[in-house]
Every structure is written in C-alpha cells, then in structure tokens.
Amino acid sequence: MRIGVLCRGLDELDWVKKLGFRSIAWMRFAESPAAPPHLDWKPFAEKLAAECKARDIRISAIGAFYKNPLDPKQTDSATSMARRKMAVHIGVRTVAGFAGAVIETEMNERGGNPVYKPLENFFPRVLAFWEPLARYAEEKDVRIAFENCPQGAWHLPVMHYNIFGQPAMWERFFNESKCANIGIEWDASHLICQFIDPIANIHKFGSRIFHVHAKDAYVNRPLLETYGICHPGVIEHRFPGLGQENWAQIVHALLRAGYDSDLNVEGWHDPVYRDHPPGGAGRQSGQKLEETGLLIARKTLEPLVAGTE
C-alpha cells in the first residue's frame, strides 16, 4: 500500500514526486487525449505510463466519469469512456467515478416546488446500465469503483445525482448484482458527513473497497447543536491528520479486509490548508497552504503503511 495523491495528469507528475507521493489516482481521463472521441489514444496512454514508471509512481486508479452517467445527455459519452481499453492497456486494475442516478421530478402541490422522485425507484435502470459494462470490464480483469460522494447540498445525499452516496444503496446494489468487479471508491469524509462510522463501514463493506480517497472531515458539534446540520461550517472536509478520524484504525480495518490498493490523498477541500486567492476576505488572503496540507496528510499516513507493499 502506497500513499499517493489525486493528480490531473502528465503536467503534475514532477509535482507529485517533489511532494514525496508514490502513487496517483489520475483524475482527468475524460479531458485527456486518451479519452473518446480521440482515436489515436494509445501513444498518450503509453507516455503517461512510462513517465509514471520513470518516477516510481504507481497509477492506482483511473478517474473516468465524475458526472452523471445516467443522465441521457451523458450516457453515450460515459459508455464510450467505460469501454475504452485504457486501463488494461497500461496495466491499471481500477476505473473509478460516480454511479450516477436517474433524475425525475414531480411537483409538491402543497409547496409548489419540484421534488425528486426517490432514486431507488429506478434501481433496475441503474443495474441495466452498469452490469453490461462491468461484464465487459471483467473480461479485461478490470474493476469498476463508484465513489461514495453524495454530491448534494451540505455534503448530504439531498437532491443529488450519485446513488452510491448512501451505503444502503451499496448494499442493495451488491445484493442484486452478480458483478463482483463492481465496488467502492471509498472516502471517509462522505461517511462522517452523514454521521456514519467509517470503521464499522469498512468492516461491513471492506471486501468491495477497490480504491480509497484519503480525506477526513470534522463535525463542529457546538455549531451543529445550535443551527443543525444544514448550516455553513457545521461540517468541513479536511486533510487526514486534521480531521476527527483515527487513520490508524482505518488502515488497520482496510488491511484486515484485504484491501489491495493505495491511499490517495484528495486535496482542494480543507478550509484552512488550501491556496487562498489574494485580495479575498479574511486573514488568510494570499496564503498558499495546499501543499502544506498534502504533506501533513502524507506524514500522517506513511507510518501506517510501512512494510505493506
């Protein structure tokens, strides 16, 4: 198990190496020359793989579809990306993204406002879309990992578009699908935001965790008890080492479950350890702290995985 970071591609590999990370989750496949509709994609794929190898950086996962694959306007594109043989061509076992959701609304006559029809009503359509793609991937020994990010307001699965934002939906999917190569791109922060115990979650679903985004969160209890969960600042995403979770216990549970990939730190979210634009409001205007946060995360996690490769 290596400690890595989310990476946009070739231009960031030297930066990844400079910070001491040893793996990446490549997050910009859809915008790269390797993605459909580009036909001559293999040279770029091979160059990315070679440049990573030259720096001893492992590609843990390819982040392919972080929108809504079940939106009719996006379905063809998502299908093409899932069928592009990028992962098998460069020897990456896991392709990741959002499962998406079928979104239909109806009017709440009492309030005059539109509301979502329950996403679980459309479960057969979710299975019908993903199972053929999973079987195709299985033939290539590739796994599909759905991130558990709800994509709703206040970090909650409210008016969202990713059915894998709630563990109850994972459970139903795994019970109804025969595709064992569909699993989870696991992120503790999205569980903390729903008051779910990440350790208990690993104990229940650990065998289906194929990739990990290492990100923590913090619940401000006094603010929660004053204003409730739907209030700014009640829940913050943070780097590992700066949130509330015990990462030693998380890694312990992952290893016990047989987790076989890396911990890739997801930045861009911490309210303090980030790059603050100059001229902004507040005392941190102009401070550049994203790299500091990434280093805190790496140094928090590295001792926990020593000897696991």
pLDDT at 147 over 90: yes
Lowest-confidence segment of 25-29, 38-42, 157-161, 172-176 by average pLDDT: 157-161
Residues listed for the chain:
309
Rounded to whole angstroms, the Cα distance separating 241 from 214 reads 10
pLDDT value at residue 245: 96
pTM over 0.75: yes
In the numeric block, which tokens belong to residue 2? 């290596």
pLDDT value at residue 281: 80
The DSSP secondary-structure symbol of 27 reads -
pLDDT value at residue 110: 95
- What is the arithmetic mean of pLDDT over 62-80? 95
Among left, alpha and beta (phi > 0; psi -120 to 50; other), residue 233 is left
| pLDDT tens per residue across span 209-228 | 999 999 999 999 999 999 99
Burial class (CB in 10 A: 0-12, 13-18, 19+), 134: buried
309 band by pLDDT with thresholds 50, 70 and 90: confident
Residue environment code for 280-306, b if the CB has 16+ CB neighbours within 10 A, otherwise e: eeeebeebeebeebbbbbbebbeebbe
Residue 168: CB partners within 8 Å, gap ≥ 6? none
pLDDT at 282 over 90: no
